[in-house]
Amino acid sequence: MKSGAKILIEGLQREGVETIFGYPGGVVLPIYDELYNAPIRHILVRHEQAAAHAADGFARASGRVGVCLATSGPGACNLVTGIATAYMDSVPIVALTGQVPTNLLGNDAFQEADISGITLPITKHSYLVKDTRDLSRVIREAFFVARTGRPGPVLIDLPKDISTNQVEDVPLKDPVFLRGYQPTLKGHTRQIEKALSLLATAERPVIYAGGGIIASNASGELVELAERFMIPVTTTLMGIGCIPCDHPLNLGMLGMHGTEYANFAITECDLLLAIGVRFDDRVTGKVSTFAPHAKIIHIDVDPAEIGKNKPIDVPIVGDARAVLQAMLQKIEKGGGRENWLEKIRMWKKKHPLKYEEDGKLRPQFIIQELSNLLKGEGIIVSEVGQNQMWTAQYYCFRRPRSWLTSGGLGTMGYGFPASMGAHFARPDEVVFDIAGDGSFQMNIQELGTVSHYKIPVKVAILNNMFLGMVRQWQELFYDRRYSFTELPPVDFVKIAAAYGVDGMRVDSPDGVREALKTAIETEGPFVLDFRIEREENVFPMVPAGAAINEMIGGHPR
């Protein structure tokens, strides 16, 4: 006979779980008591939201399922933002929540919240366990659902009596089979042949690659396909790293803050091969003008995404890697697009990313210096806003799973706890969180966590004493009426010191490189407070509702 808590811990071990991010509370005390001597590392965060983001960062950096744990009621509710973040970006996490005993469900008992109901729209699936004998099966199924098909978060809600009940446990040995959940992984042969026929005859093709490439570990196949057919590749924010930044076929990011040449290429292409993307509004701008002359092939493991935002000519439902491998088996080499590639080379030369180099401390310069120091290696995590876009534009990413950011939900406060998770996923890598002063304060209490566990996460705060991206919109579209976007100055170095974390303030470009080197060479965590130009903007920029080739702040075309 075993308690439900012991069954849970043994089930997690069978799934290969080595690290859990969590915060204890009354109804999860049986689980925490079982964790006391378990061979699973538990990281005590300082807020449950950070536990969910840390599990998310672990999953993105490793490709494995991240795990977080919280108590019932407010503890479980504090996971919601992190669960929604993972759901929007298709990140596999399993969230474990405590719940009041089954005989009190629905009675408004102390710290009761219907967390499975609350999270229903933002999980792939959720379980409310009402019989301890179901626990082994539920754990197996939860991990299976989280990591297969289109990855995503799964929630397991555990009433206290489920953790304390003693039952006979017979772990499942057969593979998981869920009759109502059978994701299609292999693409349809005839659809793949149609796609190859279009690729062979297109004169101005473009590959539009997204987070699905990263999730399915298809970066190698993507680059091979691009090179065989000589097709330029543009990536979404979530797809950055799937093709090396300095590859001659890489157009960089497209969309609202994408490169001018990527947006021009999309606008003029005659064939668009979209892989693992969802035609998000920040990418497409005005949908009717997005790739207006192109036939569109869309490869995605989630059939609900195909045709959702843009009509598709050749839909292919399947795992990105499996479909690309099938395509590569059927072709040898393409080419004959020198005029198209020459035009793109001309655009790149004429319309590069640019910023003022006038001796003032510019955030783009800081990102470039960090990229040069790390040679495009390491794991770079960002918060949300201007810091996120500058990093996406100016850091030279060369590998998949080296760029972690909240794309779909745009969650401020994501980066710092996610960087903690990234460290535990890949402890030999340098991990940097690029933050804004507004975003960093959303989860600043996690300085306690990195200090406690000596997690060597480095934080570079691009400090303009504004909610920068909102201020930029107010400058450009609201006549500089900075309504509640200015933040009072904060001494982040002193705050870090109060938690036992080293830090440094930098006010000029001359000190940037040495400060970054000091942070990298410091064994533990380190906080850098860069006092950047306060009204620096992210350009180019596509205004809301405009076509993506109608950018402001770029070069005259």
**What is the DSSP secondary-structure string of 299-326?**
EES-GGGTTSSS--SEEEES-HHHHHHH
Q: What is the pLDDT of residue 171?
A: 82
Pairwise CA distance, residues 457 & 450, whole Å:
7
How much of the chain, in percent, has pLDDT values that exceed 70?
99
Is 336's pLDDT higher than 80? no
| Confidence band for 557, pLDDT divided at 50, 70 and 90 | low
Residue 123: predicted pLDDT: 98
**Is a pLDDT exceeding 70 seen at residue 239?**
yes
Which of 124, 160, 310, 458 is flagged as catalytic?
160
The active-site residue, picked from 111, 191, 325, 445, is 111
What is the token pair recorded at 465?
Answer: 């004493």
Q: What is the mean pLDDT of the chain?
A: 96
For residue 298, how many other CB atoms are within 10 A of its CB? 26
Distance (Å, whole) CA 138 – CA 143? 9
Question: Helix 338-350 crosses helix 260-268 at what angle (to 10 degrees)?
Answer: 150
- Which residue of the set 10, 34, 48, 536 is catalytic? 48
Residue among 110, 166, 346, 494 flagged as catalytic:
110
pLDDT band (50, 70, 90) for residue 334: low
> Is 108 in contact with 72 (CB distance < 8 Å)?
no
On whether the CB atoms of residues 243 and 178 are closer than 8 A, the answer is no
Residue 48 among the catalytic residues? yes
In the residue annotation, 110 being an active-site residue is answered as yes
pLDDT band at 219 (very low <50, low <70, confident <90, very high): very high
Is pLDDT above 70 for 432? yes
Residue 399 pLDDT exceeds 60: yes
Specify the pLDDT at position 377: 87
pLDDT exceeds 90 at position 128: yes
Annotated catalytic residue: which of 389, 420, 469, 551?
469
pLDDT grade, residue 553 (50/70/90)? Answer: confident
The rounded distance, in Å, linking the Cα atoms of 122 and 194 is 35
Residue 335 has pLDDT above 90, yes or no: no
- Domains contained in the chain, CATH given: 2-167 (3.40.50.970), 189-350 (3.40.50.1220), 363-531 (3.40.50.970)
Region of residue 420 (phi > 0: left; psi between -120 and 50: alpha; otherwise: beta): alpha
Its pTM stands at 0.97
- Own/partner contacts of 326-332, CB < 8 Å, gap of 24 or more, are 326/186, 326/187, 326/189, 326/192, 327/192, 327/195, 327/196, 327/225, 328/221, 328/224, 328/225, 328/228, 330/192, 330/193, 330/196, 331/196, 331/200, 331/228, 331/229, 332/228
Is residue 337 predicted with pLDDT exceeding 80? Answer: yes
- Confidence category of residue 90, pLDDT binned at 50, 70, 90: very high
Which pLDDT band, with edges at 50, 70 and 90, does 24 fall under?
Answer: very high
Among 36-40, 172-176, 457-461, 495-499, which stretch is predicted with the lowest mean pLDDT?
A: 172-176
pLDDT band at 385 (very low <50, low <70, confident <90, very high): very high
